[in-house]
Structure 1
Amino acid sequence: MRRRSLLIAVPAGLVTLAACGDEDAGSSKASDSATPQAPATSTPPTPKIVDGPLPAITAGTKFGEKPTVAKGSGEPSKDLAVKTVIAGGGQTIAENDYLAADYLGQIWDTGKVFDNSYDRKAPIVIQLAQGSIIDGWRYALAGKKAGSRVQMAVPPAYGYGDEGSPQGGIKGTDTLVFVVDVKDVFNGKSSVKGKEVAQDDAALPEVGTNTDGAAPSIEVPDTAAPKKLVANYVIEGDGPEVAAQDTVLVQYKGVVWDGGKEFDSTYSRKQLASFSLQQVVKGWSQGLTGKKVGSRVLIVIPPDLGYGDNPPQDSGIEKDSTLVFSVDILAKM
């Protein structure tokens, strides 16, 4: 079974692109951590945030370095203890934003490390929202900036509750200590920031290259639609390549080839989308596989790799439509 770290719910996938066949839905690949899914509990009241106590960080004191943290001394606070160890200058985190972060978690009383992303060399990408992450993280990180290192001591009520997490070795009485390096923040105004790639095929749509968070234009030529899948860089990033089983965080806009009418857009909803490439139509999964994180990709999907003669009801997509998308790959999850 794939193990998750701080997730308590898998983020919702796309609606208009959700595959309706017999494919495995998969799950969000947050990490291969030792901390399992947290139990669902009633929401506690907003915590009081205090300065400490917090155990010392004795090694790995720079941003991005794996920290070593001393065992907790004495009784931990019943409140949520939070300290900005290194203040970053990036984007401020707000509720419902997504963040990419490296982190280490250990138990106050024993100093036992139960999870860390540094050894995996893969930061977690997760939404700072109720139902997606433990409440200790939600309250401790809201208002912090990208580039910050934040240390927190999370009492059970804002961690895994009275049940704890037996698989992770966490008891219902354990206060948890985390060090979190916030590497990036994403929201409905995010765009990729890569290198522009020439769009010199007049028979293909031209996609706007603005990176201001606004929806890019998609100009569909007055020609016949291609019969095969097209997946071309518009802006090429320098992140890791997306694999066929990955879950991605994206901004996207979709139009139909005939007439260029928009039928779906995260920009219009002002809300990012995350989904497994195993959960979407074949044109999306094939088109994004092998592309780099941080890129904007033009995808032209012929009917046999899209919805064919069975488009989603009330989607604005006619039968046997060729679909055109601009997709910003913000992160792998």
Structure 2
Amino acid sequence: MRRRSLLIAVPAGLATLAACGDDKSDSSKASDSASPSASATSAAPAPKIVDGPLPAVTGGTKFGTKPTVAKGTGDPSKDLAVKTLIAGGGQTVAENDYVQAHYLGQIWNTAKVFDNSYDRKTPLVIQLAEGSIIDGWRYALTGKKVGSRVQFSVPPTWGYGKEGNAQAGIKGTDTLVFVVDVQGTFNANSSAKGTKVPQNDAALPKVGTNTDGKAPSIDIPKKDAPTKLVANYIIEGDGDEVGAKDTVLVQYKGVFWDSGKEFDSTYGRKALTSFGLQQVVKGWGQGLTGKKVGSRVLIVIPPKLGYGDNPPSGSGIKKDSVLVFSVDILAKM
């Protein structure tokens, strides 16, 4: 099983996407490795941020390369020490954004590396929100720009507190040192990025191609609904392909074929969502598998791959409904 960072929060499946009668989830994978996830909602006050001391980065000094970090000397700061080693020029990270980053974490006084994403060759995507990640990350990365390498030390107060993290070998007295390469940031204004694909089939819905973070239009044709799954690019991104077992971060909008009425949307909630493709209705899992990150995809789901005669209670979805979605694949998690 591929190791995954404990920084990754368990995906929150929406009622209108969760697969019925399927108890399989991705949550058991979230603790496969030792790393600094949020253990409990913190009540600690905001830290004072200082510029040191911090141990030297002695190798892998380029952005995106695995760093080597010396052991801390002397006593670490009791405040949050933060230093930008490489200043990026991209979008500014805000609290509650989802950040995509490579990182390495080690213990101050031993230089023991307890986790890093570079060896997994997969960057972390996680929300900088209270309860989702340790407070040290929230405060150190907020305000930084995409393309930046940031080093910071986290005392127990803004890490794991007096309990530490036994799985990671972190004691309640340990100060943690991180080097983080910020590769991307996503929020409610994020959209697909890529090349527009012609929509020439008059028998299929036409989806808007705006990339301003606003919900795209979905125009349903006055035709019979397709009986097979449709999963077509509207905007084709250039990112990695999504695998059948991956977890994705998305913007989406869903409407009924028969009325064009919207029944669910991240745009309306002004909040992105994430889920594993094995946790949702088959039409979503099959429709997004093989598609590229950065894309906008039209998915038309016939009842047999949606909810059939057993729609979720309170969803407003009728039996045997054909569902139409516009999905922006922002990142793999």
- What TM-score, normalized by structure 1, do the two folds share? 0.95
Paired residues, what number? 333
Q: What is the rounded CA distance, in whole Å, between the counterparts of 2:139 and 2:98 in structure 1? A: 14
Q: What is the rounded CA distance, in whole Å, between the counterparts of 2:97 and 2:42 in structure 1? A: 22
Structure 1 counterpart SS, 2:136: helix
Asked whether 1:164 is paired with 2:164, we answer yes
Give 1:33 deviation, angstroms: 3.8
Aligned to 1:284: 284
What percentage of residue pairs aligned between the two structures are identical? Answer: 79
Give 1:31 deviation, angstroms: 9.2
Structure 1 residues 29 and 195 mapped into 2: Cα distance closer, same or farther (>3 Å)? farther
Alignment of 1:22-41 (within 5 A): 22-27=22-27, 33-35=33-35, 39-40=39-40
Give 1:126 deviation, angstroms: 0.3
Aligned to 2:261: 261
Q: Which amino acid aligns with 1:319?
A: K
Structure 1 counterpart SS, 2:161: coil
Deviates more, 1:158-167 or 1:95-104: 158-167
Is contact 2:34-2:167 (8 Å) kept? yes
Deviates more, 1:252-261 or 1:162-171: 162-171
Is contact 2:242-2:292 (8 Å) kept? yes
Structure 1 residues 38 and 214 mapped into 2: Cα distance closer, same or farther (>3 Å)? closer
Q: What is the rounded CA distance, in whole Å, between the counterparts of 2:31 and 2:141 in structure 1? A: 20
Deviations for 1:203-228, whole angstroms, at most 9, x for unmatched residues? 11111111111111111100000011
Aligned to 2:89: 89
Q: Which amino acid aligns with 1:139?
A: Y
Structure 1 residues 83 and 39 mapped into 2: Cα distance closer, same or farther (>3 Å)? same
Q: What is the rounded CA distance, in whole Å, between the counterparts of 1:141 and 1:128 in structure 2? A: 8
Give 1:25 deviation, angstroms: 1.7
Asked whether 1:207 is paired with 2:207, we answer yes
Structure 1 counterpart SS, 2:152: strand
Q: What is the rounded CA distance, in whole Å, between the counterparts of 1:38 and 1:270 in structure 2? A: 24
Question: Which residues of structure 2 form unaligned runs of 5+?
Answer: none
Alignment of 1:321-332 (within 5 A): 321-332=321-332
Structure 1 residues 4 and 161 mapped into 2: Cα distance closer, same or farther (>3 Å)? farther
Q: What is the rounded CA distance, in whole Å, between the counterparts of 1:126 and 1:120 in structure 2? A: 16
Asked whether 1:236 is paired with 2:236, we answer yes
Q: What is the rounded CA distance, in whole Å, between the counterparts of 2:137 and 2:37 in structure 1? A: 15
Aligned to 1:223: 223
Q: What is the rounded CA distance, in whole Å, between the counterparts of 2:308 and 2:147 in structure 1? A: 45
Q: What is the rounded CA distance, in whole Å, between the counterparts of 1:272 and 1:198 in structure 2? A: 27
Aligned to 1:143: 143
Asked whether 1:299 is paired with 2:299, we answer yes
Structure 1 residues 23 and 14 mapped into 2: Cα distance closer, same or farther (>3 Å)? same
Structure 1 residues 168 and 134 mapped into 2: Cα distance closer, same or farther (>3 Å)? same
Deviations for 1:277-316, whole angstroms, at most 9, x for unmatched residues? 1111111111111111111110000011111222233323
Asked whether 1:175 is paired with 2:149, we answer no
Deviations for 1:39-82, whole angstroms, at most 9, x for unmatched residues? 33652111111111111112222211211111101000111111
Q: What is the rounded CA distance, in whole Å, between the counterparts of 1:327 and 1:277 in structure 2? A: 13
Q: Which amino acid aligns with 2:54?
A: L
Give 1:32 deviation, angstroms: 5.8
Structure 1 residues 290 and 30 mapped into 2: Cα distance closer, same or farther (>3 Å)? farther
Deviations for 1:228-284, whole angstroms, at most 9, x for unmatched residues? 111111111121111111111000000100121111111111100101111111111
